[in-house]
Amino acid sequence: MELPFAESFRIKMVEPIRRTTRAEREQFIREAKFNLFNLKSANVFIDLLTDSGTGAMSDRQWSEMMLGDESYAGASSFFKFRDAIRDIMGFEYVLPCHQGRAAENVLFSVLVKEGHLVPGNSHFDTTKGHIEFRKAKAVDCTIDEAFDTTLAHPFKGNIDLVKLEKVLAENGDRVPFIIFTITCNSSGGQPVSLANMKAVRQLADKYGKKIVMDSARFAENAYFIKVREDGCQNKSIREIVKEMFSYADAITMSAKKDAIVNIGGFIAMRDKDLFDKASVFEIIYEGYITYGGLAGRDLNAIARGLYEATEFDYLETRVRQVEYLGNKLMAMGIPIQQPVGGHAIFVDAKRFLPNVRKEEFVAQTLAVHLYVEAGVRGVEIGAILADRDPVTRENRYPELELMRLAIPRRVYTNNHMDVVAAGLKNIWDRRSTIKTGFKIVREAPIMRHFTVELEKI
Ligand code: F0G
């Protein structure tokens, strides 16, 4: 008999979580004004709100925490952190930051100016936010295949070379750099291929542009390259990571994802001049250049986490759990973004609840039903998140209404995934009876999804 697959870790510390009753959950979600961000985490049984900062550190990472050097400047923890990034990612210059968006803030303070265009593959919200805040524009050059959830393209994070070249040819003087998000969160945790990175590098060189990689989930991207891209099966994850980053001039990193820590981030780059300029903003916004808003112990845990996250066995366990949930849902006929991404399942809410009008927030409706059904917290990636048009103040309705179920690293077992799947199946079976959603009763002028208050229609 073939031995089944099993996790490449065992558990030596546990955190109790509490089941609630349906009646309790109905009350909690009503008190939360039907906004899942307003729930107390103690009232959530399985929390799939995000995979960011929610992972379980290893025993080695916790022991590194004890070895933190908390000196203000020149701490040994900084050198351990810098050397890990040099070794794994191949960049000479490194600035620690308190999280990913802080890295964006520091780097873009140097590179992005009013009127600029920043082409990329479905920029993450904070990336787009930091570009638009500087009165520049994020131009989405993602391949069209990414927007069809039924299409099983292996690299839906890829940049469309024709779309990119059009921007560079027509407005090259306004482009400070091209940004790759690896994996691409907004399109479903979808990877970018090495071939696409190489081709974009050639275009960037032709037009004399830098490439920045938003590397929050770089290791998951490398895993997909290894298992999906022709000619990469025999390369190690670390070899693939080195090659990926050989195409970049600089990276921003949210260490809360693929460095498996609860807080932290950094910028890494090759160019001393860029490092000197960024160091000025680093000191204003983050802290001295050898700690950047983090404790020495955090830097140690990141260094260790980067090594762990680039081990094949860890990544296989990680991605196969996401696939496990995805395969279960697909077998039930539940519509999800295919193929399954690296960190989350994206349920296609319009196809799940065809009777709910888009004006009544389809993905939010599904997320509320899932919480009441099973105590599972997902997150809406749809019209509430898309916000109002800044000029007309009309609601924007994106092409896709998605409910994201993000899986924290090394936290839940496949039994938890079974609960998620069963909860969704129960809703799926009664989907024809769900005909109404929600209306907004209170909202903030921007980033409304965090605090929005809703009422049942
Ligand atoms: N880039 C990507 C691709 C991200 O997914 C995130 C965060 C950031 C940058 C910003 O990093 O949170 O450390 O400041 N994503 C989280 C999520 C919030 O839930 O997907 P941060």
- Number of helices and strands in the chain (H, E): 16, 14
The verdict on 278 and 325 lying in the same domain is: no
Q: What pLDDT does residue 149 have?
A: 84
Q: Which atom of ligand 1 is nearest to the CA of 183?
A: 3
Looking at ligand 1, which residue's alpha carbon is closest to its atom 5?
185
Local confidence band at 187 (pLDDT 50, 70, 90 cut-offs): confident
Q: Is 185 in the pocket of ligand 1 (CB under 6 A)?
A: yes
Residue where one domain finishes, among candidates 309, 344, 373:
309
Output the CA angle 128-130-131, nearest 5 degrees. Answer: 65
Per-residue pLDDT for 390 more than 80?
Answer: no
Q: Is 182 helix (H, G, I), strand (E, B) or coil?
A: coil
Assess whether 91 carries a catalytic annotation: no
Check: CB of residue 372 under 8 Å from CB of residue 365.
no
pLDDT score of 236: 98
Q: Name residue, tokens 């400070």.
A: 176
| Average predicted confidence (pLDDT) for the chain | 96
In this structure, is residue 6 part of a structural domain?
Answer: no
| Ligand 1 centroid from CA 59, angstroms | 25
- Bigger pLDDT: 388 or 73? 73
What domain range includes position 189? Answer: 59-309
* Rounded Cα gap, residues 383 and 135, in angstroms: 23
pLDDT of residue 416: 98
Strands 379-381 and 402-406, by their bridges, are: antiparallel
* SS3 (DSSP) at 38: helix
Same domain as 213, residue 103:
yes
245 is catalytic: no
Q: How many domains does the chain have?
A: 2
**C-beta 184 within 6 A of ligand 1:** no
Pick the range with the lowest mean pLDDT from 206-215, 360-369, 394-403.
394-403
Tell me whether residue 422 is one of the annotated catalytic residues.
no
Query: Which is the catalytic residue, given 123, 226, 369, 449?
Result: 449
Q: Is 33 helix (H, G, I), strand (E, B) or coil?
A: coil
Both tokens assigned to 74: 């020149």
Greatest Cα pair distance, the chain, in angstroms, is 64
Section 366-377 average pLDDT? 98
The CA 298 to ligand 1 mean position distance, Å, reads: 18
Question: Could you tell me if 295 and 226 lie in one domain?
Answer: yes
Q: Would the CB of 43 count as within 6 Å of ligand 1?
A: no
Whether the CB of 252 sits within 6 Å of ligand 1: no
Q: How many CB atoms lie within 10 A of CB 150?
A: 10
Cis peptide preceding 354, ω within 30 of 0: no
Residues 273, 418 within the same domain: no
* Average confidence (pLDDT) over 276-300: 98
Whether residue 417 is predicted with pLDDT greater than 90 in this model: the reply is yes
- Residue 389 banded pLDDT, cuts 50, 70, 90: confident
Mean per-residue pLDDT, 266-287: 98
User: Quick check: is 14 in a domain?
Assistant: no
Q: Which of these three, 293, 309, 325, is where a domain ends? A: 309
- Is 214 annotated in the active site? yes
| Marked catalytic residue, from 45, 124, 180, 218 | 124
Least confident of 98-107, 180-189, 342-351, 359-368: 180-189
Rounded to an integer, what distance in angstroms lies between the CA atom of residue 374 and that of residue 403? 15
Residue 156's closest CA among 198, 193, 199?
Answer: 193
pLDDT at 358: 96
pLDDT at residue 70 greater than cutoff 90: yes
Burial track 266-277 (b if 16+ CB lie within 10 A, e otherwise): bbbbeeeebbeb
Residues 6+ apart with CB under 8 A from 34: 364, 368, 438, 453, 454, 455, 456
Q: Answer with the one of 309, 333, 358 that is the final residue of a domain.
A: 309
Say whether both 177 and 197 belong to one domain: yes
Which ligand 1 atom sits closest to the C-alpha of 184? 3
**CA 434 to centroid of ligand 1, rounded, Å:** 32
Q: Of all helices (H) and strands (E), which one includes residue 84? A: helix 76-89
Q: Are residues 377 and 293 in the same domain?
A: no
The answer to whether residue 4 is domain-embedded is no
What is the 8-class DSSP label of residue 3? P
| 125 included as an active-site residue | yes
Do both 268 and 358 map to the same domain? no
Q: How far is the CA of 228 from the centre of ligand 1 (A)?
A: 25
Tell me the mean pLDDT in the region 365-385: 97
Q: How far is residue 37's CA from residue 137's CA, in Å, rounded to a whole number?
A: 28
CATH number of the domain within which 261 lies: 3.40.640.10
Classify residue 160: in a domain, yes or no: yes
Q: What is the mean pLDDT of residues 208-225?
A: 98
Whether residue 15 is contained in a domain is answered as no
Catalytic residue among 72, 133, 397, 450: 72
pLDDT at position 193 is 98
Mean predicted confidence (pLDDT) in 117-135: 93
Any ligand 1 atom below 6 A from CB of 214 = yes
Q: Give the per-residue pLDDT at 446.
A: 81
Q: Give the number of other CB atoms < 10 A from CB of residue 232.
A: 18
Q: Provide the percentage of residues in the chain whose pLDDT is more than 90.
A: 94
Predicted model pTM: 0.96
Residue 20 has pLDDT above 90, yes or no: yes
Distance 61 CA to ligand 1 centre (A): 21
Q: Does residue 384 have a pLDDT over 90?
A: yes
Whether 414 contacts 370, CB under 8 Å:
no
For the chain, what is the radius of gyration of the CA atoms? 22
Give the domain CATH number at 402. Answer: 3.90.1150.10
pLDDT in tens, 427-447: 999 999 999 999 999 999 888
